[in-house]
Structure 1
Amino acid sequence: MKLQLTALVCSLSLAGCANHAARERLGIQDASVLITGIGANQNEAAGAANSQWVNTYASIGSSRNALASLQKRLDRLPGDKDHYFHAKAQCWIKAAQQTRDSHDDWGFVEEAIGQAAMITMSLERGEPLSAANPALRTVSTVRPDLWKIVNAIKADAAVVNCPEAQQPLACAEVELMQAGHDAWIRSFSDAEKRLPAIQKRLRESAELTLQCKVATPEHQAQVSASAELSPQKMTLRADSLFRFGGADKLAMLPAGKVELADLAVHLKAVPVGSKLKITGYTDRLGDNAYNQRLSLQRARTVEQYLRGHGVTLKVSVQGRGSENQRVDCRQTQRDELVHCLAPNRRVELELAGAD
């Protein structure tokens, strides 16, 4: 680990020509980072390494070996890989690898490894962890508005019971820290390039959290409004069950899981010997072979989920692709067309009595 004064002076001199507009858009409030050119110095207030920092990270040695070892330990941990802290440790490992591969030797690699190691060791020992983000020497705060969104999502009680929302949230936090490191080394344009992916993750986390809020216990006694139920035939909207284009269990939405869990309660109460037919359908977009596979996989996923919730009825499963379209849409804008075709994307369940 070499933090050479001459290299720092050169980099800061060149930083005087950095993209000032990008720097301003990042909302940087760290005064030392806003100073560029020869006037920028390497004192401790500006983030120079001190003896405490060196002693903390000197034991890391080979970052390559440290990362490989951490990844093995994290992979061995039981439980949900999308859980907030497991996901955060994984994203810190990824951030360290990316920074190392870019030959950035300013200390962020070691700090990222340190964060991943701290989380991993606590998970191994079953120790409590704080969701607060650390103040790192090589990271400046960028986009305070995005940090407010992060904190708003974390403050929502629903996110605690919503693993689907935790992974994108945890990774967005790490990537914001990584953008803060880019800003710290005056790579303002690189920091800004990370923002679209960060915003996408935060949007995904917020949307999933909202869906989990809908899927509260008081809603579990009733079927979602997107389902049309009768004693013998049910139609479930695929857009309520799966992410768009998805069909397996990983693509299931929180509200869709609640919907099927509630349906399983009803199905377990039907007379013994009854039969259930599950048929998947898609819209007309895409080729026939793809739609056939997608519709069948969705129907199979619904069956597997019901089985996992105790449904023991005899079940037959089929996919019929884009057959039996419920609505005919002619919009020219794709987003409008996809929205209009939503009723065609569905899974139908038909219950028959015993022979």
Structure 2
Amino acid sequence: MSLDNPLTVLYKEIDGSKITTDVYLPHSDSSSPQKYPVVIDIHGGAFMLGHSRMVSMPQIKDCLERGWIVLVPNHRLCPGVDLLEGPMRDIRDLLAWVYDGRLDAYLAGKGSHRADLDNVAVFGTSSGGNLALSLGFDVPRPAKAIFSLYGAVNFADPAWKAPLPHIAAILPKLEESFLKKIYDEVPIPTDSSVSLEGQTESGASKGPDFSRPRDAFAFTQIATGNVISAIYPSGEPGGSDPGYEKVDPVKNISVDFPPTYIVHGLADTMVPIEMSRALFKQLQDKGVPSGMTEVPGEEHTFAMKMEVGSKTWWLQREGFDFLEKYIGRGPV
């Protein structure tokens, strides 16, 4: 299977939004069905940007070489739906779709690959790291192991309200009425044509297009320190979840939380490394098998830019080695 041409299947439809996942299959010469561990890979984008093709292809290749089936899902994008009822609900429904046997039903007509439902793991970058961690709590059956790369957590930290001048510096003057056009998007979109990293559908890094309301809105919220209030207004004072108890992994670590690994860049200016350190402390305090790698010199979204074989490549790969300890390798 070519990395440029994965299988794609609809796993959910709600209020007109058709939500798909890409499916990457490891090499197999078998003519009879064989079980492979499943790994879900969730894209980043501040919950407002990106889609399933905007992930690191070298990471997917690494997973396939370990004999894992890789699912890269889309989810509905905020702010037309909030974090809990949109992205988080969709990713949890994907996990249920796998556990309910619907991935296997889809694969039955595609060859010998079958899902090993005893070995399902998840990883994600940035907002995708938050969504990966959400498969460890408030679900009937959690993922077996989790890997968060600079995930968005610890929402009560004042750093989430801090403006980011280096992002504001790239913004043109934008009218509020133009930004609000994002709320006119019906049905709720599940993809945007640019990622937080600036990567476009073609793979080129052209950066955001501020003539599009979604790009303009998302980067404005990032620049002004309003991401969390934009994607989860229930967490604001007077809202229904002022403590972020329903959406913040830091508030939901228990002794039964799945084994979890964290990788975060020391030079991250968008999600400060202290966020992940707070999560790691919670994991340690609860006795959850866990680990954390701090990557020198790396900014946010480095997974999209790292070179295979670089020091950063080998450091972040420790997260995949951690997953392998719990889900094993497939029959490659």
The normalised TM-score by structure 2 is: 0.24
When you count helix as a share of all residues, which structure comes out higher?
Answer: 1
Higher relative contact order (CA 8 A, sep 6+): 2
When you count strand as a share of all residues, which structure comes out higher?
Answer: 2
Larger radius of gyration: 1
